[in-house]
Amino acid sequence: MTKEEKRDHILARLDELYGTEKEGFHHDQDWQLLVAIMLSAQSTDKQVDEALPGLFGRFHTAREVAEAPVEEIEGYIHSVGLYKNKAKNIKKCCWQIQNEYGGKVPDTLGEVLKLAGVGRKTGTLFLADAYGTPGVTVDTHVFRVSHRLGWAKGKNPAETEQELMKLLPVDHWNRINFQLIDLGRSICTARRAKCEECPLQEWCEKKLQA
């Protein structure tokens, strides 16, 4: 079986198991989606979901966030990881959105990466969720699982991102993130890969080399 045939079998199984559409954070405006993704770094979805109603109930525009004391923002997001640093970045980010981009989050990666607290992973994920822009988002789960599958050998997320973009059809770029996250959290975990339970074991390099 060729590498491409294995890839296609894996992608079909992932679509079957986890679907092709991601359930994103509730938001009414693009800046709210960006803030939610910023909050999700090193935090669980549950922690973010608990913080968002109060935060967005208080702040209705990027301008209101930009003009608020950072301590007030902290009060709404203290349940998430690194909340002090995130509050500072969110305030500055919203100031930039309001004053440099007319209140609307830009729609290109180059511009989004100029916003405070927005790295490549956050920016790529935002563009995928907000505008459907194709992009591969490599977090710790995607990095680990893609290496175990034999899809990537890169030493860092940036190298792995480029490898996956070459390997995967463009229409799978946006969904590979949440699919591999689900697999990585439940089966292909960091502590121990549960290969005997894995639905991808017959095509997996790690399993075949065991």
Provide the token pair at 171. 């229409």
49 is catalytic: no
8 is catalytic: no
Residues in the chain: 210
- Using an 8 Å Cβ cutoff, are 189 and 144 in contact? no
Per DSSP, the three-state class of 188 is strand
Instruction: Determine whether the annotation assigns residue 188 to a binding site.
Output: yes
The phi, psi pair for 89, rounded to 5°, reads -70, -40
Residues 92, 139, 206, 207: which is the catalytic one? 139
Instruction: Determine whether the annotation assigns residue 195 to a binding site.
Output: yes
CA 114, 111, 104, 129 torsion: positive or negative?
negative
- Using an 8 Å Cβ cutoff, are 62 and 45 in contact? no
DSSP 8-state class, residue 194: -
- Using an 8 Å Cβ cutoff, are 32 and 53 in contact? no
- Using an 8 Å Cβ cutoff, are 93 and 118 in contact? yes
Instruction: Determine whether the annotation assigns residue 94 to a binding site.
Output: no
Alpha carbon 165 to chain centroid, angstroms: 16
Instruction: Determine whether the annotation assigns residue 93 to a binding site.
Output: no
Q: Which residues are annotated as a binding site for [4Fe-4S] cluster?
A: 188, 195, 198, 204
Which residues are the active-site residues? 121, 139
